[in-house]
């Protein structure tokens, strides 16, 4: 099994968060920020960029502050499962619709934890898929087909 020191991974992850956050703020600064009454197109990207910078800084500080106690390895199964879920959702949503893409993403994500039973995976995936359909298609009215064959 591959073992990677967590402090190095935390430092790298924190640095990437900070770099992406700075990039988002720099690129979004070309757009109008707007006011609180009328938010401009640059508001959300700048907000996300600032949140990435704050999150990355927190991760970086924890990486240098962490002592010998605590978790010292990175488990690759959860990392691979979340990455596979994101890729599967991206590949499936345009050709098959929201429901199959969300189901696949939920199942793949939950496979990252060995303690999940197939019943728990099925129930949670079904609930999250219905919830996603309700929020994004029915409530927000996004133009994402539920099923696309």
Q: Are 89 and 132 in contact (CB under 8 A)?
A: no
In this predicted structure, what is the pLDDT of residue 72?
Answer: 52
How far from each other are the two terminal CA atoms of the chain, in whole angstroms?
40
Q: Are 107 and 118 in contact (CB under 8 A)?
A: no
CA distance linking residue 79 with residue 122, whole number of Å: 21
pLDDT in tens, 91-139: 998 899 999 999 999 999 999 988 999 999 999 999 999 999 999 888 8
pLDDT in tens, 17-30: 999 999 988 888 88
Q: Residue 119 contacts by C-beta under 8 Å, 6 or more apart in sequence?
A: none
Beta strands, E only, 60-115: none
Q: What angle do CA 119, 121, 125 make, to 5 degrees?
A: 120
pLDDT at 83 over 80: yes
- Domains of the chain, by residue range, sit at 6-65, 76-139
pLDDT at 1 over 50: no
């Amino acid at each position: 099994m591959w073992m990677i020191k967590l402090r190095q991974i935390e430092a790298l992850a924190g640095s990437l968060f900070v770099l992406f956050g700075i990039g988002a703020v720099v690129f979004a600064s070309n757009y109008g920020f707007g006011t609180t009454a009328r938010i401009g197109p640059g508001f959300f990207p700048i907000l996300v960029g600032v949140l990435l910078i704050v999150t990355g800084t927190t991760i970086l500080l924890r990486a240098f502050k962490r002592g010998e106690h605590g978790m010292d390895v990175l488990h690759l199964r959860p990392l691979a499962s979340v990455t596979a879920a994101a890729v599967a959702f991206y590949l499936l949503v345009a050709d098959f619709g929201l429901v199959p893409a969300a189901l696949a993403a939920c199942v793949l994500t939950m496979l990252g934890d060995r303690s999940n039973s197939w019943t728990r995976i099925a129930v949670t995936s079904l609930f999250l898929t219905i919830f996603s359909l309700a929020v994004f298609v029915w409530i927000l009215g996004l133009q994402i087909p539920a099923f696309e064959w």
